[in-house]
Structure 1
């Protein structure tokens, strides 16, 4: 079983019946049109703990939106409030333009997949898939059509007569997803559905989920703390911290132009390189300066700067650090190689630059070894600068 509230003081637990009844059954004609979801000025308070405050989120019809963040950031709480499993303190939730803030879960036309499989152990796969339809009085022919359709999508046909105990973890999660598909809902909600699987199964099911979204064209909202899942699945992703959305955009946008230091360091493996220094403005030019480095950043469109000397942090992704002679005409820096990690198609090179660790993802065949002193440079087209005090992007 899984907690309905992530990072909160409550400890409500979902039963298989809760999962089965989390959404209403759509018309027998087929899959409903995907719905947009609009969250406005949402506040959720659990006891004395304010989990979410003044949150806005717009999910377009047919999008795959991922809520990404560390444990306790409020992402599961937000998902469960959309599902109607948590009462909101203030604000509104609309689905397909209809106010659903206080509607029962069964009236929201949603389907929810939890982290735990929550399958009935005594029922076959076929009966697990059809359970919600049977208790809602759906005609037998319609049940058969939907179960057949879902089992074909998820390659469950040969498993329909098996019990959950006879299935692997990946197969059980397919059944849980299939149980959501047969509901033919307007919005599909996923609460870390792959976190209980091993790495190989996560990769396989992640690919299947993406293909499933392409086939269904459905609106999907997916919660995870895994940045790889977020980057590969999302059409747009919301990075959350402390109940606040730090940035909402496409994976490429969020990765390349993080709004603040938290987003910059949360995304990426290895994490973004950070160097503290000063942004100096003089005679119309801008330079990032440290005790050992002076880098011309005049080409960047800075916002209005409050002073001509601003403490800031330079950020650069590991793949934008080039190691080797002739790596740049703009920088002439050298550092000691402290560690090399071979990764097959690339290597991760760690540099000691005046006591600061700089990491590079290197795909060249340049011969280097631990202990060498190597030239390095930043790709100046892909650096970020942040205000040191507030962390905001400059």
Structure 2
């Protein structure tokens, strides 16, 4: 077997050997919480994760989001038991699983690669883990029928993987996880090998699947759209550290630092450097060319006067008006049609400001546009350390 096949075999067995033969009314074991405490993982001389804490509630869909190399897959694989931890602990359903074998953790894992057995039919791929663990035939048939109905695999059960499309193969891989009736489902970038249309379709199916199962799911991706649409809560990671953990709406609207602010959003959050100062008793942001009243901004503590800071504003909060007089004006440097909206880029004294615009007002490169944004709908960050003020 290849290394991938070996990992697949481990994942096939995980969560099945000790699974109860009688499931609850929903056909599942009860979803479990996952608690990671002070987790440190070193691979050789490289520290991938250090002193990381993560709490996943039972029944949640938690997404681990971040750029390549941030440690998100390493964290997922440590929960699965495929990577030994250097320090810390991992609990599943209140039971210490730090050194438990993968098969004893009651988890199911879906890899980025479909990793299907090419000589087996879809039906036998789905039932393989149950067969090697001695599950009764009637129970195997019940679980396979249930998973194939959920994922619309019924007409494909007799086909081999080579006769399936990419989306169908990934549904089989997901179905192979469902039949295990595990306490925790782990997904390692399962949609990254698919084209944009298939990703959208399977993303919707995954969300609906979670709603039907009510299972605990932990999902790794670098795609912010997947994270925002799938997660009940998301953990944004960088350099083995969780930068922010919260609901997608919270993380998007109130990023904890500049990394989170610029990693989420398409286009990324607009940033302008300046100074926070008091004017007539009210806090204002001031740059070389812009002054903005931010008295409605929800500061974490009383703002310091003359503090170097960075102002961030989402593209959808920048209002562009053509042919109007205003104190803030800029040249249109680029227009990107996006179907139901367009992105208008403004050259503001050398800084590029993006605006998401849904009007049909004619606009062309080189035009002069007025723009504005509300001081209550911005983010302010300390320039020194990048943390939210």
Report the TM-score range of the alignment, normalised by the length of the smaller protein: over 0.9
Aligned-pair CA distance for 1:345: 1.2
1:149/1:382 CA distance change after superposition, 3 Å: same
The match for 1:157 is 154
- After TM superposition, the structure 1 = structure 2 runs for residues 174-193 of structure 1, keeping only pairs within 5 Å, are 174-193=171-190
Q: Within 1, Cα distance between the matches of 2:99 and 2:334?
A: 56
Equivalent of 1:168, from 162, 165, 183?
165
- After TM superposition, the structure 1 = structure 2 runs for residues 117-128 of structure 1, keeping only pairs within 5 Å, are 117-128=114-125
Matched, 1:70 2:67: yes
Aligned-pair CA distance for 1:306: 7.5
Q: Which runs of 5+ in 1 are unaligned?
A: 4-11
Matched, 1:294 2:291: yes
- After TM superposition, the structure 1 = structure 2 runs for residues 249-328 of structure 1, keeping only pairs within 5 Å, are 249-282=246-279, 284-304=281-301, 307-324=304-321
Q: Within 1, Cα distance between the matches of 2:324 and 2:278?
A: 27
Matched, 1:19 2:19: no
CA contact (8 A) 2:13 2:129 kept: yes
Matched, 1:363 2:358: yes
The match for 1:224 is 221
The number of residue pairs the alignment matches comes to 384
Aligned-pair CA distance for 1:308: 1.4
The match for 1:6 is none
Q: Within 1, Cα distance between the matches of 2:379 and 2:248?
A: 16
Computed over aligned residues only, the root mean square deviation of the Cα atoms, in angstroms, reads: 1.8
Q: Within 1, Cα distance between the matches of 2:57 and 2:169?
A: 30
Which range moves more in the overlay, 153-162 or 379-388? 379-388
Which range moves more in the overlay, 120-129 or 339-348? 339-348
TM-score under structure 1 length normalisation: 0.94
Aligned-pair CA distance for 1:116: 0.6
Q: Which runs of 5+ in 2 are unaligned?
A: none
- After TM superposition, the structure 1 = structure 2 runs for residues 65-104 of structure 1, keeping only pairs within 5 Å, are 65-104=62-101
TM-score under structure 2 length normalisation: 0.95
The match for 2:372 is 377
Question: What is the SS of the residue equivalent to 1:29?
Answer: coil
CA contact (8 A) 1:2 1:14 kept: yes
Q: Within 1, Cα distance between the matches of 2:2 and 2:62?
A: 22
Post-superposition CA distance 1:259-302 (Å, at most 9, x none): 00000000000010000111113553111001111101112232
Matched, 1:239 2:232: no
The match for 1:7 is none
Aligned-pair CA distance for 1:372: 1.1
Q: Within 2, Cα distance between the matches of 1:208 and 1:222?
A: 14
1:286/1:146 CA distance change after superposition, 3 Å: same
Question: What is the SS of the residue equivalent to 1:205?
Answer: helix
The match for 1:34 is 31
Post-superposition CA distance 1:312-349 (Å, at most 9, x none): 10000000000006999xx7300011111111211110
Spell out structure 1 runs of 4+ moving beyond 3 A: 12-16, 303-307, 325-328
